[in-house]
A = this chain, B = another copy of it.
């Protein structure tokens, strides 16, 4: 460790393998070093050091007693030399002796930090990935027809062409029949309604089964294999809640809360009732059995080859459960990763991250202005939050169609996509609703989609010429080809003299890759302004012109000095993703 100012010390270590590492800090006195320093000063001042030599000999003899073999003999010889009267007047301490003394420190009175600290090393996907969420039952390609996992396979080339490397599926388990919701979340649906995938469990099975209309376990394993061929990893949704038809209800009624009439307590948020959902009682007397069963759900899907889990509403279940189950799964499957879908208070989101979640959803969807984005992403990337919390940025989800997307048209979708993909090394979209710019809400003031796929099958028009598929492909390619965009630590915001323009950069540690993003936040009007760049921090020579290569349009600009002009029309492309460099490379 290296001493800094004001009694602070700094040390570094490198960890090569994935897994959890623990460390702490220990400090001890090194009387030999103090003695050695004093001896040198006294000899330089010509003082008598007879007694000091004897003190040194004693120190060395104590250490010799802790050593053995050759080292012990060597130390004893050094001590004897210090004791001998006929020693010459040269400083008797050699580097060999100093190294030996350092090898056998006396830690009997060492002070040890009272905390054991943990570093978790995850695989690279934890830090960098582009997620795509799709409802497999909408993949049939014919209006009204229930899609299957096999149909989903057919969409892989399309998803891969857009550059996504994670395909996240809402729950694929049997859907309950009791109190099944109708279209647009109607309280009681028709008999032919497909229900919500998050209403898990029927006679056909629970969290380890596959909804029969989607296919078989074999189909699922084949989807994993095919996706892998396209460079895509499958992420499953883990939503620990049951319908009244879930096998757990019959087999383990003691895992649920009972009401005084013997019936099982459904979810409620008075006066709202969710009679199709029975929450599990994590504090049941049989909690150990319940927790083990839930752990076995993760184990089961890991055995099928899944390593990515998007966990539904983890903040409504106990912290100790997540701490335990994530640790247990990672012990067996160190490459397992967990994305927390917790839209709640910051402290709770950060707590989930600290106890084991690899990534988390964020408030990104509701941060729209330059001030909001700057403040939030400065907190996420420049404070201690960056040490434990990995943001995953979603401009939309099946639950979230923001006002900005509802009202801003196609430019709003482009703007939010570029922001998500460049502010966050991890980001995702819920498609095809996103690339097809679906923006009709169920009612004014609501963030719910009209005719939401949560409750019905949708048939999407992939031939829509307004689709953003190619634009998304360009954005994801710029992420893959530029290491600067593959982490969040280097994010810095820069001045622009226009409140509608936001400008930020990311760069690699060696500055060999510098990406500058400028986005027009106004989805209606052209905006222009002067950006102010810290060229020296980018490793650019402020006295030489440099190139700004726009990865979205392939345009090349020759810039000079820190202030440069930008102009963005939301109705063509509302953003620049520049690679900055001197021309000769």
Please report A residues at the B interface, Cβ cutoff 8 Å.
6-7, 37-39, 41-42, 44-45, 47, 51, 54-55, 57-58, 109, 259-261, 263, 268, 270-271, 283, 345-348
Q: Which residue of B lies closest to A40 (CB)?
A: B270
Complex interface: chain B residues within 8 A of A283 (CB): 109
| Chain B contacts for A51, CB-based, 8 A | 259-261, 263
Return the contact of A6 from the options B7, B271, B347 (Cβ within 8 A): B347
Q: Nearest chain-B residue to A39 (Cβ)?
A: B270
Contact B345 A271 (CB under 8 A): no
Let me know if A347 and B260 touch, CB within 8 A. Answer: no
Q: Is the CB of B7 within 8 A of A348?
A: yes
B55 with A259: CB separation less than 8 A: yes
In whole angstroms, what is the CA distance A183 to B54 when docked? 35
- Whether the Cβ atoms of B271 and A41 lie closer than 8 Å is yes
Contact of A54 among B57, B109, B261, B271 (CB under 8 A): B261
Q: Which residue of B lies closest to A37 (CB)?
A: B270
- Structural contact, A58 and B270, CB atoms closer than 8 A: no
Closest to A7 in B: B347
For the complex, what is the distance from the CA of A258 to the CA of B184, rounded to whole Å? 88
- Cα–Cα distance between A550 and B166 once the two chains are bound (Å): 73
Known: A55-B260, A259-B51, A260-B55. A271 touches B42 (CB 8 A): yes
Partner among B38, B41, B54, B345 whose Cβ is within 8 Å of the Cβ of A7: B345
CB nearest neighbor in B for A56: B260
Sort A-B residue pairs by CB-CB distance and give the 7 closest, nearest first: A45-B271, A54-B260, A38-B270, A41-B270, A7-B347, A41-B271, A42-B270
Distance of A46 from chain B, by nearest CB (Å): 9
* A42 partner residues in chain B, CB cutoff 8 A: 270-271
Q: Inside 8 A of A38's CB, which chain B residues have their CB?
A: 268, 270
Interface pair A6/B41, CB less than 8 Å apart: no
Complex formed: what's the CA distance from A45 to B269 in Å? 12
CA distance A283 to B160 in the complex (A): 69
Chain B residues, CB < 8 A from A39: 270
Q: Assess the B45–A6 pair: CB atoms within 8 A.
A: no
Shortest Cβ distance from A175 into chain B, in angstroms? 27
Write the nearest CB–CB distance from A350 to chain B, whole angstroms.
10
Query: In the complex the two chains form, what is the Cα distance from A138 to B23 in whole Å?
Result: 58
Which residues in B have their C-beta under 8 angstroms from that of A6?
Answer: 345-347
Contact indicator A58/B271 (Cβ below 8 Å): no
The answer to whether B347 and A44 touch across the interface, beta carbons within 8 angstroms, is no
14 contacts between A and B (CB under 8 A): A7-B345, A7-B347, A39-B270, A42-B271, A44-B271, A45-B270, A51-B259, A51-B261, A51-B263, A55-B259, A55-B260, A57-B260, A58-B260, A109-B283
Cβ contacts under 8 Å, A7 to chain B: 345, 347-348
CB distance from A405 to the nearest CB of B (A): 27
Q: How far is the CB of A235 from chain B (nearest CB, A)?
A: 29
Closest B-chain residue to A319, C-beta based? B111
**Complex Cα spacing A326 to B446, Å:** 63
Known pairs A7-B345, A45-B270; list 19 more (Cβ under 8 Å): A6-B345, A6-B346, A6-B347, A37-B270, A38-B270, A39-B270, A41-B270, A41-B271, A42-B271, A45-B271, A47-B271, A51-B259, A51-B263, A54-B259, A54-B260, A54-B261, A55-B259, A55-B260, A57-B260
**Bound Cα distance from A259 to B54, whole angstroms:** 9
A58 to B39, CA, bound (A): 79
Instruction: Give every chain B residue within 8 A of A347 (Cβ-Cβ).
Output: 6-7
CB contacts (< 8 Å) of A58 on chain B: these are 260
A47 to B268, CA, bound (A): 13
Max count, chain B CB within 10 A of own CB: residue among A44, A45, A271: A271
With both chains docked as a complex, state the minimum distance between the C-beta of A9 and any C-beta of chain B, in angstroms. Answer: 11
- Complex CA–CA separation, A270 to B43 (angstroms): 10
Residues of B within 8 A of A54 (CB): 259-261
Rounded to whole angstroms, the CA-CA distance of A508 and B420 in the bound complex is 50
Complexed CA–CA distance, A178 and B45 (Å):
24
Nearest CB to that of A347 among chain B residues? B7
CA distance A39 to B54 in the complex (A): 84
For A271, the closest partner residue in chain B by CB is: B45
Chain B residues with CB below 8 A from A44, complex form: 271
Q: A45 to chain B: which residues have CB within 8 Å?
A: 270-271
Residues of B within 8 A of A109 (CB): 283
- With both beta carbons as reference points, the residue of chain B lying nearest to A273 in the complex is identified as B47
Contacts of A268 in B (CB 8 A): 38
Contacts of A346 in B (CB 8 A): 6
CB nearest neighbor in B for A44: B271
How many Å from the CB of A53 to the closest CB on chain B?
A: 9
Docked Cα-Cα span, A54 to B58, in Å, equals 80
Measured between beta carbons, the chain B residues less than 8 angstroms from A261 are: 51, 54
Nearest CB in chain B to that of A344: its residue? B7
Min distance, Cβ A395 to any Cβ of chain B, angstroms: 24
The minimal Cβ–Cβ distance linking A87 to chain B, given in whole angstroms, is: 15
Residue of B nearest to A5 (CB): B345
A39-B270 Cα distance, complex, nearest whole Å: 8
How far is it, in angstroms, between the C-alpha of A51 and the C-alpha of B42 when the chains are bound? 88
